[in-house]
Chain A
Amino acid sequence: MEKFLRRYGTLLALFGLIMLFSLLRQNVFCTLRNFLNITQQIAILMMVAIGATYILAIAEFDLSLSALVSFVGVLAAGLMVGGMHPFFAVSVALSATLLFGLLNGVLVAFLRLPSFVTTLAVGTLVSGVTFWYSGGTIIFSGIPKSFTILGQGNVGRVPIASLLMFSLLALSAYLLTYTTLGKAIYAVGGNETAAWYSGIRVARVKVIAFLLSALHSGLAGIVLASRLGSAHPTGGGGYLMPSYAAAFLGTTIFREGEANIWGTFVGALIMGVLANGLTILNVPYFLQDILTGIILIGALVLRASRKREEE
């Protein structure tokens, strides 16, 4: 029993939460409509968290994620307001985001700077650029209607943002689990020296991870701007910590001790379900933060005790 709890505690927490909210507000919470709602609510967080998963898998940090989320939205919105077609505006904004990801990767992998401080610096730089470009204000008038489909539209009853999220999840899960790149990523995160001695181009793998991380933040930022129909220069600020929280929660299940996509999915779901259920129950917002913190600590304690048991 104890063992089972240690192994599947995180998953149990998710089901426990779903059960709890279903019992308390069955007719509101436990409906297909609300579940689809939850997937839409967590779509943006999930995309950022996928990026964080790649970074955790190579045992580094990327603290520029949230700055990139704001940046990409502001740039795309600004370009569209300037008359650019949404498709090109999004492409240009995503490319610019990738350039910052490349900067992160090159600084960390080739110049061997510590990723924590380096990405903090790059993030600060990106924030500055974002404010400069936007003039510090929200960009909302002049954004074409077609752009908002991505964040607000549905296919049948399923939100497009949710569909995008699930496709990205599936792609990343395939990449990390079944491909040679995925194996190389985990090898670099597990033991960089051994990976290098095995002929893996460690620096290149790290750069790819930072690019993938930036790409997912970029996509998240686009969906965010599309959903709001506007872009705020600090709009992405709230996603950094929750995305890492989700990815860390994920390290406690499936691929134990290592960041993995389905674990991150469960982690983000826990936070999404919590937020959704507590909102339905009209619980004050700060309680969500307190509960999220408690769940995170609980999961880490479980993981640590499992490690001790093995040794």
Chain B
Amino acid sequence: MGILEVRNLSKSFPGVQALRNVSFSLERGEIVGLVGENGAGKSTLIKILAGIYRPDGGDVLLEGVPLRLHHPEEARLHGLAFVHQELHLVPSFDAVDNVFLGQWSRSRRDMERKVAELCRDFGFHFPRNIPVRYLSTSEQWMVQILRAFLEKPRILVLDEPTAAFSQEETETVLRIVRRIAAQDVTVLYVSHRLSEVFELCTRIIVLRNGEKVWEGPTSAVTRDTLIAKMAGEDREDDTTRMNPSEPQGEELFSTHGLSDGNKLKGVSFSLSRGEVLCIYGLQGSGRTELLETIFGVRKRVQGEMLLRGKRFSPKSPGEALQEGVALVPDHRGRKGLVLQHSLLDNIALPHLETYRSLLGYFPRKTFAPRAKEALAFFRTQYRDPREPVRFLSGGNQQKVVLAKWLLRHFDLLLLDEPTTGVDVRSRRELYGFLWDLAREGKGIVFTSGNLEEVLEVMPHRVIVLREGKVQGIVPCAEVTQKAILRLCYGEG
């Protein structure tokens, strides 16, 4: 009997089966890797373990006793600790106060002694009396580890610990994880970096589309077979191209060594008129930053851009729009929509200047039918276009975002994960529409972290982005899941 057992766990959200009958068990003191593509169900699983979500069906057993978690605090009391990718620290507090966050009942001397003790155990050597914002990201991560070990947990879940770390910092993390496991703590290690998984874990669990598709010892797989399991080999040949058209040869847009001084580290690519290009990258790969730098949301620190052969350097989205460049952003609730405003008002926003007439008047009578047409094109379900967007479901909200940006035909259209939460049929409508635009001689760049989607669209080229750099460009004829994933996770 394992220390933690998961039995037939299921969870669905409106329109998505996030987890389907997932079962596995973890032994005391082992390090188990949990891998899968974006949207495979990893985070849903972790959130159930943490008591943030409640499962629709199935059980979680801790040493044979069923756990019914209603609150994250209960998970902690049962000895389940979680260290997430985003750090939950108070930047202005020092390490000691952060470790004891919310439990300052002890004297300061007591707390300092305890933290010093833990640091000695782990071999941490960072200053403990300065605000944590002066610590490096990996040191901040160590503070989180200390907090998790205030009372020694039985199970530690590490969610993408190294996503933001350098190579050196990653080595440190691996060393710490081994030390933790040596203390008889079970570690569930979630990561997109397969090399770490191979180095650390004795066993691997693979999730795909909410199901556990494989579980076994690390020695039983190679990097390639693991990637194939994550992607689902069976789908490899199921590639129907949608209304293909050839690029027109004439260059529309190019970037040369583009950097934003942060995530982007010198990206160069070019795009012809009539070309559909996909930027494939995982979260944090710089895909969003790339599109936002082109659109003028982010400051360009280095590099150049050319649009229609002329230098292009927008300082704001407004300037980019005037040049005929548009971006369908990710995070619809934050960047895409004013949720409490009506569908019509939202769709009108990028087109205010176009429709503006005498005395700044906005002709809503002429605008409304155009907006409704765009909404109908994507089969948006709504009762009244004057009602607030927030009353719509997530998928329908995304369709409003699409309608908002596709009402007018821009020369260069950038789309950042445009199909989040959109159903299959409307997704096809969108792809078809993108190809129609391409045939008109427009340029299309879309990002995706989902291989199935890439294969569905079959763009002319796929650029694989990792850590802010172009890892490779895969031409259409060679686009396979394996080819992309190999570039994405790096060789070896």
A196 touches B348 (CB 8 A): no
B 299-321 binary contact with A (CB < 8 Å = 1; else 0): 00000000000000000111011
Q: Contacts of B317 on A, CB cut-off 8 Å?
A: 196-199
Closest to A256 in B: B340
CA A257 to CA B342, docked complex, whole Å? 13
B349 touches A195 (CB 8 A): yes
* Interfacial residues of chain B within 124-177, with CB under 8 A of chain A in the complex: none
B338 touches A190 (CB 8 A): yes
Residues A196 and B297 in contact in the complex (CB < 8 Å), given A179-B359, A186-B341: yes
A199 touches B350 (CB 8 A): yes
* Interfacial residues of chain B within 321-374, with CB under 8 A of chain A in the complex: 321, 327, 329, 334-341, 345, 348-350, 352-353, 355-356, 359-362
Residues A187 and B345 in contact in the complex (CB < 8 Å), given A180-B356, A196-B297: yes
* Interfacial residues of chain B within 357-399, with CB under 8 A of chain A in the complex: 359-362
* Interfacial residues of chain A within 165-218, with CB under 8 A of chain B in the complex: 175, 178-184, 186-187, 190-191, 193-201
Q: Contacts of A180 on B, CB cut-off 8 Å?
A: 352-353, 355-356, 360-362
Q: Contacts of A199 on B, CB cut-off 8 Å?
A: 316-318, 320-321, 349-350, 353
Which residue, of B320, B341, B356, has the highest number of chain A Cβ atoms within 10 A? Answer: B341
CA A187 to CA B321, docked complex, whole Å? 17
CA A187 to CA B359, docked complex, whole Å? 19
Q: Contacts of B352 on A, CB cut-off 8 Å?
A: 180, 183-184, 200
Residues A191 and B361 in contact in the complex (CB < 8 Å), given A180-B352, A183-B345, A183-B349: no
B318 touches A194 (CB 8 A): no
CA A184 to CA B350, docked complex, whole Å? 10
* Interfacial residues of chain B within 248-265, with CB under 8 A of chain A in the complex: none
CA A196 to CA B353, docked complex, whole Å? 14
Nearest-neighbour CB distance to chain B for A306, whole angstroms, equals 13
A179 touches B336 (CB 8 A): no
B360 touches A175 (CB 8 A): yes
Q: Interface size on B (CB < 8 Å)?
A: 29
Closest to B316 in A: A201
Closest to B354 in A: A180
The one of B318, B321, B327, B335 that contacts A193, using a Cβ cutoff of 8 Å? B335
CA A171 to CA B329, docked complex, whole Å? 35
Closest to B325 in A: A199
Q: Contacts of B340 on A, CB cut-off 8 Å?
A: 190, 257-258
Closest to B404 in A: A198
Closest to A178 in B: B361
A183 touches B335 (CB 8 A): no
CA A199 to CA B328, docked complex, whole Å? 12
Q: Contacts of A187 on B, CB cut-off 8 Å?
A: 338, 341, 345, 349
A 142-176 binary contact with B (CB < 8 Å = 1; else 0): 00000000000000000000000000000000010
CA A195 to CA B361, docked complex, whole Å? 19
CA A201 to CA B317, docked complex, whole Å? 8
Q: Contacts of A196 on B, CB cut-off 8 Å?
A: 297, 316-317
Closest to B318 in A: A199
CA A258 to CA B350, docked complex, whole Å? 21
A194 touches B336 (CB 8 A): yes
Nearest-neighbour CB distance to chain B for A54, whole angstroms, equals 15
Q: Contacts of A200 on B, CB cut-off 8 Å?
A: 318, 349, 352
Closest to B332 in A: A194
A201 touches B318 (CB 8 A): yes
A194 touches B338 (CB 8 A): yes
CA A193 to CA B334, docked complex, whole Å? 7
CA A191 to CA B356, docked complex, whole Å? 21
The one of A183, A190, A197 that contacts B348, using a Cβ cutoff of 8 Å? A183
The one of B320, B337, B362 that contacts A194, using a Cβ cutoff of 8 Å? B337
Closest to B347 in A: A198
Nearest-neighbour CB distance to chain B for A253, whole angstroms, equals 16
A179 touches B362 (CB 8 A): yes
CA A37 to CA B362, docked complex, whole Å? 36
Nearest-neighbour CB distance to chain A for B258, whole angstroms, equals 19
Nearest-neighbour CB distance to chain B for A71, whole angstroms, equals 29
A 39-58 binary contact with B (CB < 8 Å = 1; else 0): 00000000000000000000
Nearest-neighbour CB distance to chain B for A177, whole angstroms, equals 9
CA A181 to CA B357, docked complex, whole Å? 12
Q: Contacts of A191 on B, CB cut-off 8 Å?
A: 334, 337-339
Closest to A191 in B: B338
B360 touches A194 (CB 8 A): no
Closest to A204 in B: B318
B336 touches A197 (CB 8 A): yes
B362 touches A183 (CB 8 A): yes
Q: Contacts of A194 on B, CB cut-off 8 Å?
A: 334-338, 349
* Interfacial residues of chain B within 96-140, with CB under 8 A of chain A in the complex: none
Closest to B326 in A: A199
Closest to A202 in B: B316
Nearest-neighbour CB distance to chain B for A40, whole angstroms, equals 29
Closest to B331 in A: A193
Closest to B405 in A: A198
CA A230 to CA B215, docked complex, whole Å? 87
Nearest-neighbour CB distance to chain A for B402, whole angstroms, equals 14
A179 touches B361 (CB 8 A): yes
Nearest-neighbour CB distance to chain A for B295, whole angstroms, equals 8
22 A-B pairs with CB atoms under 8 Å apart are A178-B361, A180-B360, A182-B362, A183-B348, A187-B349, A190-B339, A190-B340, A190-B341, A193-B334, A193-B335, A194-B334, A194-B349, A196-B297, A196-B316, A196-B317, A197-B317, A198-B350, A199-B316, A199-B317, A199-B320, A199-B350, A258-B340
**9 nearest A-B residue pairs (beta carbon):** A190-B338, A179-B360, A198-B349, A199-B321, A180-B352, A199-B318, A191-B338, A180-B356, A197-B335
Given A195-B349, A197-B336: 17 more A-B contacts, CB < 8 Å: A175-B360, A178-B361, A179-B359, A179-B361, A179-B362, A180-B353, A180-B362, A181-B360, A183-B352, A186-B341, A187-B341, A187-B349, A190-B338, A193-B335, A195-B338, A199-B353, A200-B318
